[in-house]
Chain A
Amino acid sequence: MWRFALVRTGQLLVTLFLASVAVFLVIEHAPGDPAQVQLGLSATPAEIAVERRKLGLDASVMHRYVVWLGQALHLDLGRSFATGLPVTRTIVTAFGYTLRLDVLAIVLGIALGLPLGIAAALRRGSRLDAGISAFAALGLSVPVFAMGTLLILVFAVHFKVMPAAGAGVPGQSVLSSLRYLVLPAATLAIPFAAVLARYLRVELGEAMEQPYVLTARSLGLRRRTVVVNAWRNAMIPTITVMGIQVGRLLAGAIITETVFSYPGIGYLTVQSIQSLDYPVVEGVLLLGAAVFLLVMFVVDVVIGFASPRMRIEGA
C-alpha cells in the first residue's frame, strides 16, 4: 500500500509538471502581446521592445519556462496587469472565499445526498425511489447558472430574504457573511447531492444484490446489519465519485461565482481572462490543476486505505 501511495505520488508530480508546461504554452501562444497590454495601444514599437526585454520576453521559450517555473515554485507569479498587486496574494484571497463556499456546499451536498441515496436504494421501485430519482434527475438537468439565476430570482428579487450578489463587506459578522454564502452554496450543493444520491442508489442497490448479502441473510443477520455490511462495499466506489465531484466544484465555482459576483477564484478566473491579465490567468489555471489533481490523489489514497484488497495487495 505504501508502495502504491509512493507510485501515485510520483504520478501526481509528473502530471503536475506536464500541467505546468501546458499552462505555460497556452499563455505563450495566447493572442495579445503582454508588453502591448502593459503599455497600452499608444506605445511605439521601440517602447514595446524595451518593455519586452524588461519582462524577459526576448529569451528562449525553454529559458523562460525554467525561470517562470522557478519563480512559481517560490510562489512568485508576478503582478497582476490589472491591479498591480502580487498574483499570489490576489489568488490566496480569492481562494479563501472559494474554500468557504465549497466547504459549505460539500457539507450541504452530503447532508442531502447521502440519506436520499440510501433511502432510494433500500426502497427500490417504490414511490419514494421514484420521487428521489426525479429530484436527482432534475438537480442534474438544471445547469448551474440557471439554478443560481432562479435562486436569485426567487430569494433575492421576489422574497428579498437573501442578498443577490457579492460577499458583503470586510469585517462583517459571521452570520451576515453566511447570508451571502447560502444561495451560491445551495447552487453548488444541489447537483452535488443529485450525483451522490443517484450514484449511491445504484451502488448500494447493486451491493444489496451480491451473493454475500444472501449469505448474510441466510445466517439470520438483522436487516440493519446486512445493509451496513453492503454499505461498506458501496462506499468505496462512492468515495471516488464524491472525490470527482469535489474536484468539479472548482469548475462549478467559476459559473456560480460569476452568477453571484462572488469574489472567489472562479470569478477571478473569468475576470482575468476577459481582461487578458495573463499572470493571474497562469496562476488560476495552475491552482485549478493542482487542486483538482490533489483532490484526486487524496481520493485514490483514501480508497487505497478503505479497500482491504488494495491495502493488502496494492493496486
Chain B
Amino acid sequence: MAAGTETVLDVENLRVSSGARGERRVLVRGVSLTVGRRRTVALVGESGSGKTLTGLALMGLTPAGTAVAAERLLVGGVDLTRMSEPEFARVRGRRIAMVFQNPMEALNPVLRVGHQFSQVLTRNLGVSRSDARDRARELLDSVGVSDARRRLGQYPFEMSGGMLQRMMIALALAAEPDLLVADEPTTALDTTLQAQVMALLAERREDVGMGMVLVSHDLGLVAEYADEVNVMYAGRVVERAPTREMFASPVHPYTLALLRTVREIASPGTDRLSSIPGSPPPLDDPGSGCAFAPRCSFATAECTAVVPELKGVAEGHDVACVRSER
C-alpha cells in the first residue's frame, strides 16, 4: 500500500464456512486485505477458488447456511463484525456496495428501472421521491446513459446487458460508498463492452474517491485495472503483490503457471501450451498441506505435509509456498 492513502477496507483473517455445527466445512480460509482510497485491489482465481464468496462475505451477503468470521472487518473505519442484519443493511449501499457478474439478472424484472432507483435513492440518500427522480437522471448521466428520462420508465428486459451494467454501477455508487466490490463486472459482456464498462468503473472510482475490490478470473483485466493483485487458490490467497511486481516477477508456482499459460495463448508463436495438469480441488476439500501440491511441478513431500503461510519475499509481495521461504 502506497503511503499516505487512507484505508477504506481493512479485513483480517476472513473465514467463511458452511454446514451445520457438527459437519462444518470451511470454504474461505483466512483472507486478509487492505484497500486504500482510489485504489483497486484484485482477487484473481479460477472458478471454485473462493473469490466470489470472499466478495460476498465483505458485504455480509453469503448464502443462507454459511457463517462468516473475521478478526477485523473495517470499512471506512466502521467495524462490521458485530453488526446486526438491520445495522449492516444501513451500511450496504452507503459505505460498501457491489456490482455483480450478470447485469441481465441483477435488477428486478417486474419493476421499472426508475422505481428501483427511487427505492435506493430515497433509502440511501434520504431524498424525497421527486428529488430522487432528478438525482437518478444525474446518476445516469454520470455513467454515460443518455436519454435518462425514457430509460427510467423502462423495464430491465427492454435493455441490453451493457446498459444494465451501467445502471447497476449508477445504483451502487449513488451514495458514493467508500468501497465497491466488483464481482466479474464484465464477464457476461462482449469484449468491446468490457472495455467501456471497465473504463467507466475506473473513471467513477476517481470521481467518487472510493476503493475497489475487483473480483475476476481474467488476468488481462486485472493487469490493466488493478493496483494490487491477490491470487486465490482453494479458498486461500497464495500470492499477493503490487500489479507490476506480480506480472514481472511472480513467485508462487500457481501464479507462474497461470501467467505463462495466459501469455502463451496470447502469443501466436507458441508451439505447445504449457498447461497446468488436472483441475482445482473442491473448495471444501483442498487436501492436506498446500492445495496446489497435486498439480505443482515443484511439489515435494513437505508440500503435502504443511500448509504454507503467506510470507513476505519483497516489499508488499507475499507468497504462500515452502519454496519461497528458503
Contacts and interface: CB of A to CB of B under 8 A. Distances in A.
A touching B, CB within 8 angstroms: yes
Contacts of A219: 92-93, 97, 120, 123-124, 171-172
B102 interface: yes
A214 interface: yes
B108 A218 contact: no
Max count, chain B CB within 10 A of own CB: residue among A219, A222, A225, A308 = A219
A279 B109 CA distance: 50
Given A210-B105, A233-B108, A307-B110, A220 B100 contact: no
Given A218-B172, A220-B124, A211 B105 contact: yes
Interface string A208-252: 001110111111111101000110110010000000000000000
A212 B89 contact: no
A291 B98 CA distance: 50
Contacts of B172: 218-219
Interface residues of B, number: 32
B310 interface: no
Max count, chain B CB within 10 A of own CB: residue among A210, A220, A236, A313 = A220
A222 B124 CA distance: 10
Contacts of A7: none
B157 to A, nearest CB: 6
B92 A218 contact: yes
A304 to B, nearest CB: 13
Max count, chain A CB within 10 A of own CB: residue among B86, B89, B123, B171 = B89
A222 B109 contact: no
B100 A214 contact: yes
A214 B61 contact: yes
Nearest to B115: A229
B128 interface: no
Nearest to B101: A211
B107 A217 contact: no
A309 interface: yes
B35 to A, nearest CB: 17
B98 A218 contact: yes
A312 interface: yes
Given A220-B92, A220-B123, A312-B155, A215 B109 contact: no
A218 B108 CA distance: 13
B107 A215 contact: yes
Contact of A211 (B90, B102, B124, B171): B102
Contact of B93 (A212, A221, A233): A221
Interface in A53-100: none
Contacts of B106: 211-212, 215
Interface in B202-228: none
B323 interface: no
A303 to B, nearest CB: 12
A22 to B, nearest CB: 38
Given A212-B107, A309-B109, A221 B157 contact: no
A308 B61 contact: no
Max count, chain B CB within 10 A of own CB: residue among A214, A232, A313 = A214
Contacts of B91: 220
A233 B222 CA distance: 37
Contacts of B25: none
B92 A217 contact: yes
Max count, chain A CB within 10 A of own CB: residue among B61, B91, B109, B168 = B109
Contacts of A222: 89, 123
Contacts of A312: 155, 158
A229 B111 contact: yes
A219 B90 CA distance: 9
A217 B91 CA distance: 11
16 contacts: A211-B106, A212-B107, A212-B108, A212-B109, A215-B100, A215-B106, A217-B92, A221-B89, A221-B119, A221-B123, A232-B110, A308-B110, A308-B157, A309-B155, A309-B157, A312-B155
Interface of B: 59, 61, 85-86, 89-94, 97-98, 100, 102, 105-112, 119-120, 123-124, 155, 157-158, 168, 171-172
